[in-house]
Amino acid sequence: MPERTPSMRQRLLVWVAIPLLALVLINAWASYRAALQTAQTAYDRLLVTAAHALADLIWLEDGELQVTLPHAALEMYADALPGNTAAAERSPLIYRVSFLDGSFLAGEAAIPPYQGLPAFDNGHAARLKLYDTELHEQPMRMAALWQPVESAQGLQYVVVQVGEYAAHRYAIGRQILWQNLWQQSALLLLVLLTLWVGSTMTLRPLHQLARRLEQRKADDITPLPEQQAPREMQPMVQAFNGLIARIGLARQQQQRFVADASHQMRTPLAVLQLHAEAGLKGDISAQEALQDIARTTQRTTRLIHQLLMWNRAQQTAHAAADTVDLCALLQDVVVEQSPLLAQKGLDFALDAQPLTWYGEAWMLQEIVMNLLRNAITHTPAQGALGIRLTLQEKAVAICVWDSGPGLSPQMQQELFTPFVSESHQGVGLGLTISRDLAQACGGSLVIRNRVVQGKIAGVDAMLWLPHTARA
């Protein structure tokens, strides 16, 4: 079972949804990074403030450094961090105070001492460092402050480290990310829903057109009204009307062919019946009746062949084009017609250059056959006729000439009209078939009187074919 092709509405939704979804994801990620950066900055500032506040609580008592930081103070800084609106989300600050050599003084002893020393000058300015570390295999953000303290031994430095777990920072970023995703997803669904409704309304004329075509009868080939169709559908309607016009023309040709064929077949069948009845009644001898029947049958066979060739010429698809040896083709035609040439004692001449042509051999053979038979029919006994094959300005020229009486003015006007040669022995469809086949080959057929010294010396049937172009 063949797979169903996606509808235009589905394709439109996919083409809109994919870039919009990508835009939503990119925007959400950018918002997440921006929110995370903002949270990092705010948290870092509070860490620095807490470190300075803790450093201010370090004093010298009895020659020893003392530090006391109430737990409520760190809770206050933790509550001031952005996003800490629920106790479960709080990330309490932890601290460590130590000497430069890393010896513990106060706070959380598990915090690893900061490795490395800042570049101190001779002054008493504190140095601050923000860095990332781990505690209990959890990432932490720390602020390390080197605080100078006056003691009995002189100026000493203590390291104040204040930090918090980084998970809370990322939780704030994820919360903002999900909020952003929910909002933009709702907006995306609204856009797609609007697009679905809009495309349904836009495609309604197309469905109406389809229903109108489904309701048509099989013999209704009237064109569709173009003005009622939307602008985007008008090219399709115009193409459909063009197809309908071609179908109508083909139907007319088929009907005309059937009518002409039935009309033409009626006469020879009636003649056959008359000959048979005359033989049965004894009006003529049986041999004479059979001879008459044979001649009528031969003409009827020829007529049927011409009718079939005419129909084939009008419907040919040029499916068997190939390189054709023109000299060999002309020789085959002459050999086939040699009994007729000998019967009338005609002087035949074949003047052919060695040429090839790309096209369908049966078409060209039928054209030359019809022209040669027509020339034989109209050439008197002991007369002359022939075929010339030349190449003229990249065109193949095949001339079938005879020495007959020529064409009357009336015959010149009706030359290619089917079934107008009934009173002659010539073929009534041969020239029509030859013209249609010549056009199907991409060429043309011209038939005119040959005038010599002001008198008609015969008829020239000129067939022009393209030499390089494919038929």
- What is the tally of structural domains in the chain? 3
In contact, 115 and 131? CB cutoff 8 Å: no
Residue 221 included in any domain: no
In contact, 141 and 36? CB cutoff 8 Å: no
In contact, 224 and 209? CB cutoff 8 Å: yes
What is the pLDDT at residue 152? 65
Task: Give me the CATH number covering residue 367.
Answer: 3.30.565.10
Quickly count: other Cβ atoms within 10 Å of residue 408's Cβ: 11
Tokens of 52: 């300075």
Residue carrying structure tokens 């602008």: 231
Asked whether residue 378 falls in the same domain as residue 305, the answer is no
Residue 77 included in any domain: yes
- Least confident range from 116-130, 161-175, 373-387: namely 116-130
Asked whether residue 17 falls in the same domain as residue 161, the answer is yes
Asked whether residue 287 falls in the same domain as residue 431, the answer is no
pLDDT, tens digit (0-9, with 9 covering 90-100), for 127-138: 888 888 888 888
Asked whether residue 24 falls in the same domain as residue 135, the answer is yes
Residue 418: which residues within 8 A CB-CB, separation 6 or more? 260, 310, 428, 429, 432
Please spell the DSSP secondary structure of 81-127, one letter per residue. Answer: STT--SGGG----EEEEEETT--EEEE-TTSPPPPS-----SS---E
Domain that residue 412 falls in: 320-466
What is the pLDDT at residue 74? 53
Asked whether residue 332 falls in the same domain as residue 453, the answer is yes
Helix (H) / strand (E) containing 133 = strand 127-135
In contact, 369 and 302? CB cutoff 8 Å: no
Residue 389 included in any domain: yes
Asked whether residue 267 falls in the same domain as residue 352, the answer is no
pLDDT bucket at 63, cuts 50 / 70 / 90: low
Residue 25: which residues within 8 A CB-CB, separation 6 or more? none
What's the DSSP call for residue 464? E
What's the DSSP call for residue 396? E
- Least confident range from 56-70, 314-328, 392-406, 442-456: namely 56-70
Best-predicted range by mean pLDDT (68-82, 226-240, 382-396, 417-431): 382-396
Task: Give me the CATH number covering residue 284.
Answer: 1.10.287
Residue carrying structure tokens 């075929």: 387
Residue 302 included in any domain: yes
Pairwise CA distance, residues 428 & 415, whole Å:
10
Which of 128, 149, 175 terminates a domain? The answer is 175
Please spell the DSSP secondary structure of 437-458, one letter per residue. Answer: HHHHTT-EEEEEEEEETTEEEE
pLDDT bucket at 121, cuts 50 / 70 / 90: low
What is the pLDDT at residue 155? 73
Is residue 64's pLDDT more than 80? no
Is residue 228's pLDDT more than 80? no
Average pLDDT over residues 80-92: 45
What is the pLDDT at residue 188? 86
Asked whether residue 70 falls in the same domain as residue 27, the answer is yes
Helix (H) / strand (E) containing 154 = strand 154-165
Pairwise CA distance, residues 199 & 105, whole Å:
73
pLDDT bucket at 459, cuts 50 / 70 / 90: very high
Average pLDDT over residues 403-414: 85
Residue 1 included in any domain: no
What are the φ and ψ backbone dihedral angles of 445, each rounded to 5 degrees?
A: -130, 125
pLDDT, tens digit (0-9, with 9 covering 90-100), for 296-324: 887 778 777 777 776 776 665 555 678 99
Residue carrying structure tokens 């050599």: 101
Is residue 381's pLDDT more than 50? yes
Closest CA to 390 of 350, 353, 357: 353
Alpha helices in 203-233 (DSSP H): 204-214
What's the DSSP call for residue 68? -
pLDDT, tens digit (0-9, with 9 covering 90-100), for 238-279: 888 888 888 888 788 777 777 767 766 776 777 788 878 888
Pairwise CA distance, residues 161 & 50, whole Å:
10
Asked whether residue 271 falls in the same domain as residue 355, the answer is no
Which of 278, 311, 344 terminates a domain? The answer is 311
Average pLDDT over residues 398-413: 89
What is the pLDDT at residue 449? 93
3-state secondary structure of 3: coil
- Least confident range from 95-104, 197-206, 310-319, 379-388: namely 310-319
Tokens of 253: 């040709």
Q: What is the mean pLDDT of the chain?
A: 80
pLDDT, tens digit (0-9, with 9 covering 90-100), for 26-43: 888 888 888 888 888 888
Residue 225 included in any domain: no
What is the pLDDT at residue 90? 46
Residue 235 included in any domain: yes
User: Which comes out higher in pLDDT, residue 325 or 38?
Assistant: 325
Closest CA to 463 of 343, 348, 335, 357: 357
Asked whether residue 395 falls in the same domain as residue 367, the answer is yes
Asked whether residue 27 falls in the same domain as residue 170, the answer is yes
What is the pLDDT at residue 442? 87
Asked whether residue 119 falls in the same domain as residue 238, the answer is no
Average pLDDT over residues 388-400: 92
Pairwise CA distance, residues 461 & 374, whole Å:
10
Closest CA to 174 of 165, 182, 164: 182
In contact, 12 and 199? CB cutoff 8 Å: yes
Residue 349 included in any domain: yes
Which of 265, 282, 311 terminates a domain? The answer is 311
Asked whether residue 146 falls in the same domain as residue 89, the answer is yes
Would the pTM of this model clear 0.75, i.e. be above it?
A: no
Is residue 343's pLDDT more than 80? yes
Is residue 387's pLDDT more than 80? yes
